[in-house]
Amino acid sequence: MGIVEEVRERRSHLLGQLEEIVTRESPTLDKAAVDRLAHYLQERTRELDGDVTVYPQESYGDLTVASWSGAGETVGSILVMTHIDTVWPLGTIDRLPYLIEGDIGRGPGIFDMKASVAMMLEALAMVRERRAPHRAIRWLINTEEEVGSPASRALIESLARESDYVLCLEPPVPPIGSLKTSRKGVGRFTMRIHGRASHAGADPEKGISAIQELANQIHYLHSLTDFALGTTVNVGVVHGGTRPNVVAAEAEAEIDLRVATIDEAGRVVEAIRQTRPRLLGTAVTVEGGLNRPPMERTPAVVAAFERAREIGAGMGLALTEAGTGGGSDGNFTAAAGATTIDGLGCPGDGGHAEHEHILIPGLFERTALLFGLLTQL
């Protein structure tokens, strides 16, 4: 029996774990809810002989690192990364319940990325039952990836520098489930405009409109987009003014930046930060910067993908690669110099959307692939 077939035989156990994880809702900003799921996973990893270290957090769920020493003659270490926080508020499970319909699995956060957590538990159980030789394994269970990993970034980078391989179990690229060999870097900025208020009917000439200046700035910011280079600048949220009959004294914008290379990041970040007022009498300030560096398609990333493809081929799996504009914790590990294989999660679609789902056959295949990576890298 092949590894994929063996995982299929474990269907009941794997789907049972998946249901436990999905039905324990864990929105990023609800620390108590995220901690409840983290505590559940800590107990499951201890049952699998893992040594658990908890890193308490004040504002977000506590971070967890579970570790297993290497077995046999295999040397070096593997870092596996998952996150358990989701974008869905508490109570979503009542409206979008966990459900298996044929080859489709549904539920809030199932694709991004609770199926990956169930995969890891099952792969670890298989390693334990088979007593399979493997490198030292460390599993980071992050709790605030959906807001940019502000609390966990330093830990992620530290663990990555100590690891020979990093397996990022983020969802693959739909529709065929390609692994991710490049990711754009992500920047976040807040722009604030200061003008001067006046009565829009009686004394309009005495005012200086912060909203007018914001419009000027939006035109400039969007002009920095260069699709040929993979660069996009998007003003996604704006605020300003107090009443229709008042010339606005204040305005604000939230800005998203995506870049394909670190050199391009440097150029565009500087252009955003060094913008100047276009309307005399206004003042413009910009806060923020690059949140996640780009994961570039380097020779090391390509070599790691080719090794994963080779392991997958031995199981009858045909793996493909692709790039994405979205960021993940894999951006941090790749930029730290760690050999990173990303997009190893369960195939499906609809992350952050009402139609979020996974493909059950893909769940079996990716669990088998994860077992292969843990024991053959």
* pLDDT for position 70: 83
Range of 151's domain? Answer: 3-183+294-376
Do 228 and 344 reside in the same domain of the chain? no
Q: Is cis: bond before 113, omega within 30 of 0?
A: yes
Q: In degrees, to the nearest 5, what angle opens at C-alpha 153 toward C-alphas 362 and 253? A: 95
274, 292, 310 - which closes a domain: 292
Q: At a CB cut-off of 8 Å and minimum separation 6, what does 94 contact?
A: none
What pTM was estimated for this model as a whole?
Answer: 0.91
Do 332 and 248 reside in the same domain of the chain? no
What strands lie across the sheet with 357-359, from one edge to the other?
99-101, 104-106, 357-359, 348-349
CATH number at residue 79: 3.40.630.10
Intra-chain end-to-end CA distance of the chain, in Å: 21
Consecutive 10-residue runs of the chain (377 residues): their mean pLDDT? Answer: 94 98 98 98 98 97 96 78 98 97 98 98 97 94 96 97 96 94 96 98 97 98 97 98 98 98 96 97 97 93 95 97 94 94 97 96 98 96
Do 54 and 32 reside in the same domain of the chain? yes
Pairing of strands 185-194, 283-292: antiparallel
* pLDDT for position 76: 80
Do 158 and 73 reside in the same domain of the chain? yes
Answer positive or negative: Cα dihedral of 108, 112, 113, 116. positive
* pLDDT for position 242: 97
- Which residue type does 166 have? V
* pLDDT for position 68: 97
Do 102 and 149 reside in the same domain of the chain? yes
Q: At a CB cut-off of 8 Å and minimum separation 6, what does 228 contact?
A: none
Do 235 and 337 reside in the same domain of the chain? no
C-alpha 271/C-alpha 282 separation (Å) is 19
* pLDDT for position 73: 58
Using DSSP's 3-state secondary structure scheme, residue 49 falls into coil
Do 304 and 360 reside in the same domain of the chain? yes
Do 23 and 113 reside in the same domain of the chain? yes
260, 276, 292 - which closes a domain: 292
From residue 27, give the alpha-carbon distance in Å to each of 82, 83, 108, 244.
15, 11, 10, 37
